[in-house]
Structure 1
Amino acid sequence: MSLTSTLRHFNRTYTQRIGVLEDSFLGTGRPLAASRVLFEVGSSGGTTVRTLRDRLGLDSGQLARLLRSLEAEGLVLTAPGDDDRRVRTVRLTAAGEAAYQDLERRSEERAAALVDPLTERQRDRLARALAEADLLVRAATVSLERVEPTHPAAVEATGRYVAELDGRFPGGFAPGGPDAPEPGAVYVVAISDGEPVAYGGVRPIDLADGVPTGEVKRMWVHGGWRGAGLGARMLRHLEQVARELGHERVVLDTNGTLTEAIGLYERAGYTPIERYNDNPYAEAFFTKPLSRGTRP
């Protein structure tokens, strides 16, 4: 059976057994879509309309209809934000909190009933398999978007990148340089469920031999996504960006403590070179020629 056939079969099996096909999801009196919006608002302690739209992949009209249905039940309130009146916030009412807790209880009971016939060993196998499947499906549906470094997702990703390096480098990490990219630089963020999960950029760099060269910078992958192939995908994407910018090769530097990153670069065909910059944190330097016919 092919991967797509297996996935479709699983979808049919799972949706039938968790109540998705019913007009009243889990007997709540609400369909699945409205229940999911209620869950997102409740689990986040309140959020914004834009965040809900990005996280759930809904268009504005569909989300507006779902919110109106929940408002009609007295479960949510939408209002302008305290700090920015242009931002619409969503929070649960007291009745909404009770409905959210009821939804959580019903969902937990349905899940427990599904796995109750399984042995402990089978449950462990299922938990591992579902966690792996969840990660890979989300990795397959990540969107890669070009952004300015001042974009909120880029700022968040950069902050996590800096915090991770600061924790891993023996002497900490204190980056310098401007917040805005150099002329010709391009930055890319990977988004899943409205959140940044990977980030990186390519900037032009002048080396002594005059070959048009792009430098890969700020490569970061969320720790929870390690092992899903997202780092390799981001690297291939940045290489394609470099091609489109007219570069004939890419270079990058890294710290010796980042062994998983070094392994990624080596598997991707990068070869060691001599130091080409004065970055005090860099201990290993790599390059890769760019084939004009290659695509990510």
Structure 2
Amino acid sequence: METRSIQPPIAQQIFAVREFNRFYTAKLGLLRRKHLDGAFALTEARILYEVSANPKVTASLLQETLELDAGYLSRLLAGLIRRKLLRRVASKTDAREKPLVLTATGEKAVARLNQQSSEQIHDLLGKLSTADRDALLASLANIRSLLEGQRKPPVRIVRLSKVDDAALALLHEYYEAVHVVQRDKLGSVQKLIDAPASGMWLAYLGDEAVGCVALRKLASVSRASECKRLYVKPSARGNHIADLLLDALEAFARSQGIEWIYLDSYDDLKAAIAIYEKRGYEPCERYNDNPQATLFMRKYLGA
């Protein structure tokens, strides 16, 4: 095998990165045979986490996300299915795909893994001062940004406290794109932002606002809010922005004691419907009088 000649400055940088790799893999216990000294190898635990975070995720999307060899991933999935931790379900949008969901046993296993992982990181962070923790998190964000490359500026999700021009422009683009009849007025958008268990989020790619989503408290259903106006500009798609917006929306809803998220859509919005299905939203009965809606879905967030 032909070896490349590496210039001294780069060689020193390679050594520094490799040295850090050796440090953090040992520090986090990643070299142990079983992750967190439990029942799973690290890759198995990561697969279970991804399916938990994205119900009905497909094997092909898992392969892309985790950057795994297809054959290796297939063997791991087969083993987890054999152990009754995962199961495949029928896809309503693509008969060729068999999305993955956790079984009841799998959900319990993920809950244990999450608890163990949180305790491990808590112990690490507990040894640091508040300033050191902030510095550590900033460094992690900087590392991720650098390794993802300058072509992909970091995505920021911002919860609005006041309607601005960027929000209004995105809403108008959304209305035109999906031919919305019942459109929000400026005052009603601000009321939504101010209302309990409600809000609006914008996604920024670099300095450009490229996506939005809104959450509105449902008066007709106890402990429930409604997901509205999920939209990502075509030029920004492919950066998982819709998922990041929904992550922020769902996390906020949980913090407000919301147990159910409802939404309405219509059959032509197949890409959006696929995102909702992947995240665990399921069909439900009509809950509003929106004349354009043909599909109604909801997701249980937990008590």
TM-score by length of 1: 0.48
TM-score by length of 2: 0.47
Greater C-alpha Rg: 1
Greater RCO (CA < 8 Å, at least 6 residues apart): 2
